[in-house]
A and B are shown apart, each in its own frame.
Chain A
Amino acid sequence: MRLCRDQVVKAIEAFEMLSPGDRVLVAVSGGKDSLALWDILLALGYEVDGLYLGLGIGDYSEGSGHHAREFAAARGLRLLEVDLRSEHGFGIPDGSRAANRPPCSACGLSKRHLFDRSARDGDYDALATGHNLDDEAAVLFGNVLRWEGEYLARQMPVLPAGNGFPRKVKPLVRLGERETAAYCVLRGIDYQVEECPMAAGNRHLGYKAALNAVEAQSPGTRHAFYFGFLDRAADLFRSQMAEVDQGLGTCATCGSPANGEVCAFCRLVDRATGDRGPTHDAAVRRVPVRLESRQADGVPG
């Protein structure tokens, strides 16, 4: 457990992710990484609220939400909730089908948009996600295989606030997922063990399996790959991020940063819901949050 906390401290300091006293919003899925992150940031003294996004993936989402709520309630923490179906008119399985988009793609887009918006609305200093070293190395592997310059430019452990986006930090980048899982077991954190049914066979798992095979033959390769990229290659792609940022405007529908007149999330909502989408009023209404403690008051929005 100490190793995990020390590695998080090291990541926060090395990449200047957070400052003492920062208000942090942690994106909580109910899984091992996000709950371990929430637990560690609290132990380190940060003021941290959680944000759970209901994705509408049947029993899996029910179970995930349960774990996030139980974690928050047991510790008297504030958990914000956004429900994709009741607020935006679709869940990931049906919405991705209707929009003719892979489920993991629709899910990632929805998460990024709604996490950003919640952090912005709540005036948090930073949005923290539970991406670990295995996640980051697998994403990097996929982006390198396809030379996705724009994605490579953004694959940093910290992205500064600007252009309507909150500061985004990944304090678990020095920890593997076996370590975060072990941390949860040792801390008695009950998390969602079952895998998302929509993720089965996705490309990301394939990249992880490939890197695990390399790691088994040559321990330390994953770490060298990711941190070598940050040290020696990331700067080469930074200009591509600046080009994209210069073209950003404001979404005519929701006011979020957008590359065109309407942001990608609002386009997804339109395609996923057809003519049965939520009214504007419903789209900005939040679901009730379980108020388990004094700290649960004052849900933004």
Chain B
Amino acid sequence: MRVELRNPSRMLEIAGPLSVVALLRRLDIDRETVLVISDGTLVPGDARLEADAEVEIRPVISGGAS
């Protein structure tokens, strides 16, 4: 599957299928700090991502506090 990471924006190819939880574990990403988006909508943690899926892993933590 094609996986887009942000900050900075980059693309990865990951072998699938995989669950969202397994994908995040493989990439060592804390699930509470991101949203997983595919086909324009949110994907829950237990969902299965097919081998040909296009997935965005979008961070939700922003640094501005002022």
**A208 close to B (CB within 8 Å):** yes
Say whether A177 contacts B60, CB under 8 Å: yes
Say whether B64 contacts A104, CB under 8 Å: yes
Say whether A134 contacts B64, CB under 8 Å: no
Say whether A178 contacts B7, CB under 8 Å: no
Q: Is the interface of A mostly helix, strand, loop or mixed?
A: helix
In the complex, per-residue mask of B34-61: 1 if CB is within 8 Å of any chain A CB, else 0: 0101001110000000000000001111
**B10 close to A (CB within 8 Å):** no
Q: B61 to chain A: which residues have CB within 8 Å?
A: 134, 177, 205, 208, 212
A contact residues, total (Cβ < 8 Å): 36
- Given contacts A182-B42, A216-B30, A32 and B7 within 8 Å (CB-CB): no
**A76 close to B (CB within 8 Å):** no
In the complex, per-residue mask of B1-45: 1 if CB is within 8 Å of any chain A CB, else 0: 000001111000000000000000000001011010100111000
Report the minimum CB–CB distance from B45 to chain A (whole Å): 12
- CB < 8 Å neighbour of A111 from B40, B41, B66: B66
Q: How far apart sit A270 and B35, CA to CA, in the bound complex (Å)?
A: 42
- CB < 8 Å neighbour of A195 from B7, B33, B42, B66: B7
B contact residues, total (Cβ < 8 Å): 21
Q: How far apart sit A212 and B31, CA to CA, in the bound complex (Å)?
A: 11
CB proximity to B under 8 Å, residues A80-129? 104, 107-109, 111-112
Q: A186 to chain B: which residues have CB within 8 Å?
A: 41-42
Q: How far apart sit A172 and B41, CA to CA, in the bound complex (Å)?
A: 23
Report the minimum CB–CB distance from B30 to chain A (whole Å): 7
Q: B8 to chain A: which residues have CB within 8 Å?
A: 194
Say whether B63 contacts A107, CB under 8 Å: no
- Given contacts A194-B6, A195-B7, A212-B30, A204 and B37 within 8 Å (CB-CB): no
Q: How far apart sit A135 and B66, CA to CA, in the bound complex (Å)?
A: 9
Q: How far apart sit A108 and B66, CA to CA, in the bound complex (Å)?
A: 4
Interface, chain A (partner B; CB < 8 A): 29, 31-33, 104, 107-109, 111-112, 131, 134-135, 138-139, 177-178, 180-182, 185-186, 188, 193-196, 199-200, 202, 204-205, 208, 212, 215-216
What would 5 more interface pairs be, CB under 8 Å, given A177-B62, A199-B64, A216-B32?
A32-B60, A112-B66, A186-B41, A194-B7, A204-B65
Interface, chain B (partner A; CB < 8 A): 6-9, 30, 32-33, 35, 37, 40-42, 58-66
**7 interchain pairs (CB within 8 A)?**
A111-B66, A177-B60, A193-B7, A195-B62, A195-B63, A196-B63, A204-B65
